[in-house]
Amino acid sequence: MAKIAVIGICGNSVFMYADHFHSKGETLVAEECFEEIGGKGINQAIACARMGAEVSFLGAIGDDSDGEKCRNTAKENNLKDFLVAKKGKRTTFAFILTDKNGENRVTEYVGAELEVEDVLAFQKEIANSDFLLLQHEVPDEVNEAAVEIAKRHNVKVILNPAPIREISDSIAENVYIVTPNEQEKTAINPKRFANVVTTLGDKGCMVNEETFIPALKVKAVDTTGAGDTFNGVLAVCLADGMDLESACKYAVTASGLSVTKPYVLNSIPQKNEIEEKLLSE
């Protein structure tokens, strides 16, 4: 069984669906509203778990009702919960607006945050994993500490560089795969990384500027979380022994399936769904 460690955000999200996005000064009336626990960290962790991996998830929550919802969601999705409650802090909160084409706009309030001491307490889980999944929703010093632990224990790191920010040399030189989208790629200097898998939305992905893997042809309902599905599935496929190109094909299929359903956790596919789709292609 693949063992994956994931460090990232877990918070509450409110989804609203409308015909189009706001123009300046416009008030929109939503056609639907839905609340769900999310964040790149927990989304990627759940994507790993639905692939059958053993997943240890480290995140920070507030000492509030949303924090308890995060714990419940981790338990319901078979994650080994290493959520750290930060006294006096609010759990991270996000607002997601999706238009009729399935495209989305996300606004996030970052509440409780991880600290280096939390990563040090998590180092046994990193050391015992096949892969470590990271994103940019936690402070740089947290990712740097995690990468250093992974390096000492020969654990491969996948970095999803979202949201965009500078990546230190100490992280870049120790990342096995970086997974930017097209916008993020322009900001990271890909030559600094051993492997670059660029996600291309509804077009698919590009592996190391050499191999293009096309996306599924589907009707998108909601693209929120498609990248998180891609990253989680990619990590498990690699941990299970697939080569990078095969793992990316599997991950592209998974992310394609995810956009055909609304919301995020609801849309992350199970392993058998992905395999059935691959067989039908």
Active-site residue list: 228
Q: Return the C-alpha torsion angle 20, 26, 31, 35, nearest 10.
A: 100
Other residues' Cβ atoms within 10 Å of the Cβ of residue 108: 18
Give the integer Cα–Cα distance in Å for 236 and 52.
8
What element of type H or E holds 201? none
Q: How far apart are CA 29 and CA 182, in angstroms?
A: 31
Rg of the Cα trace of the chain? Answer: 18
Cis before 269? omega within 30: no
* DSSP-derived 3-state class of residue 41: helix
Report in angstroms the alpha-carbon separations of 236 from 49, 89, 192, 201. 9, 33, 24, 21
CB 162, CB 184: distance < 8 Å: yes
SS3 121: helix
User: Could you tell me the CA-to-CA distances from 128 to 121, 218, 233, 246 in Å, in that order?
Assistant: 13, 38, 19, 25
User: CB 31: neighbour CB atoms within 10 A?
Assistant: 11
**Distance in angstroms (rounded) separating the CA atoms of residues 202 and 199:** 9
